[in-house]
């Protein structure tokens, strides 16, 4: 039987509709309009697409979004000055600096400068620490989107072996941290470029999460029959988007799989909106239900 498709596009729409309802309520109750400030330095084509999609999603859900476009030659000092301005602006609830930044900029210093209470990407070390300790302020958007997909698809996690391929600060590491939390209770392995016999480890995974950034890296012989496969990759190959998993081959082995496009990608944006709404609520002294 071919794998069940975990439809991120539809689930993301459900989440975004929920955010829209709650945003209307917040505006009605407090007059506060959740406001995301996105910063794009240069004109990387993929980043342009991501930022445009984020802006469109904000508008559709009733959130305000402002895009700050900076020249590719922007200096570290100028970018830090913009972050400081946004940090101090009481009407801004979320700040997002689109990555990657041009090579001459120090991304770590920039991300560290974002006020943690406005860090809706959840990249700041304070937010990473809170998440790791199981008391998150914001959850990082892509791993949070994956967790939501597992939850809604009723994928059992307790005592299951989850293997994460990739150790990035944005996806791999926080993904593993969320899977190991109490209540999720997976047993987690992180694989990376220096892992010995990665195929053998992947084949023991009940839940296999590919976040490696290599087109179709995961072949069918790396998947345990019946495993749930989550594909975080978005790679452009000959003008076509492909994931980190050989989708057609994996379909014949896995019990469930996320497609690319239409899987994890839309969920990332939905979680960003949820974080921005949460931040606006917290600025109003309200606790959040989501």
Binding stretches for ligand GUN (CB under 6 A): 96-99, 121, 141-142, 170, 268
Closest by CA position to 9, among listed 152, 119, 122: 152
Task: Output 121 or 216, the one with its CB closest to ligand GUN.
Answer: 121
Choosing from 7, 18, 29, 54, which is the catalytic residue? 54
Q: Give phi and psi for 22, each to the nearest 5.
A: -70, -30
Least distance to ligand GUN, CB of residue 251, Å: 26
Residue closest to ligand GUN when measured from CB atoms: 99
Choosing from 119, 121, 206, 246, which is the catalytic residue? 121
Looking up tokens 């729409």 gives 13
- Does the annotation mark 54 as catalytic? yes
Least distance to ligand GUN, CB of residue 141, Å: 5
Least distance to ligand GUN, CB of residue 112, Å: 14
Cα separation, 112 vs 101, in Å, equals 14
Measure Cα distances from 282 to 22, 117, 226, 265, 285 in Å.
13, 9, 41, 26, 5
Closest by CA position to 30, among listed 22, 42, 38: 22
Decide if 288 contacts 281 (C-beta within 8 A).
Answer: yes
Closest by CA position to 184, among listed 134, 227, 140, 127: 134
Task: Output 26 or 141, the one with its CB closest to ligand GUN.
Answer: 141
Task: Output 62 or 265, the one with its CB closest to ligand GUN.
Answer: 265
Least distance to ligand GUN, CB of residue 115, Å: 15
Task: Output 23 or 98, the one with its CB closest to ligand GUN.
Answer: 98
- Does the annotation mark 98 as catalytic? yes
Cα separation, 106 vs 41, in Å, equals 12
The residues annotated as belonging to the active site are 54, 98, 121
């Amino acid at each position: 039987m071919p794998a069940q498709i975990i439809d991120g596009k539809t689930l993301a729409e459900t989440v975004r509709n929920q955010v829209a309802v709650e945003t209307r309520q917040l505006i009605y109750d407090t007059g506060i309009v959740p406001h995301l400030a996105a910063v794009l330095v240069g004109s990387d084509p993929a980043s342009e697409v991501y930022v445009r999609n984020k802006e469109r999603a904000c508008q559709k859900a009733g959130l305000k979004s402002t895009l700050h476009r900076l020249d590719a030659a922007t200096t570290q000092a100028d970018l830090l000055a913009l972050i400081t301005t946004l940090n101090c602006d009481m009407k801004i609830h979320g700040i997002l600096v689109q990555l990657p930044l041009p090579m001459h900029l120090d991304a770590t210093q920039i991300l560290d400068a974002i006020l943690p209470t406005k860090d809706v990407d959840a990249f700041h070390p304070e937010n990473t620490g809170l998440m790791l300790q199981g008391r998150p302020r914001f959850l990082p958007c892509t791993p949070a989107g994956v967790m939501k997909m597992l939850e809604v698809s009723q994928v059992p996690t307790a005592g299951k072996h989850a293997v994460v391929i990739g150790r990035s600060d944005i996806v791999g590491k926080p993904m593993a941290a969320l899977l190991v939390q109490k209540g999720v209770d997976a047993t987690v392995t992180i694989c990376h470029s220096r892992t010995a016999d990665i195929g053998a480890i992947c084949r023991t995974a009940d839940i296999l999460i590919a976040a490696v950034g290599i087109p179709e890296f995961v072949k069918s012989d790396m998947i345990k029959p019946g495993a749930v496969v989550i594909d975080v990759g978005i790679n452009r190959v000959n003008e076509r988007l492909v994931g980190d998993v050989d989708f057609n081959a994996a379909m014949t082995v896995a019990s469930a799989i996320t497609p690319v496009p239409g899987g994890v990608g839309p969920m990332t944006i939905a979680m960003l909106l949820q974080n921005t709404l949460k931040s606006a609520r917290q600025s109003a002294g309200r606790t959040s239900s989501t």
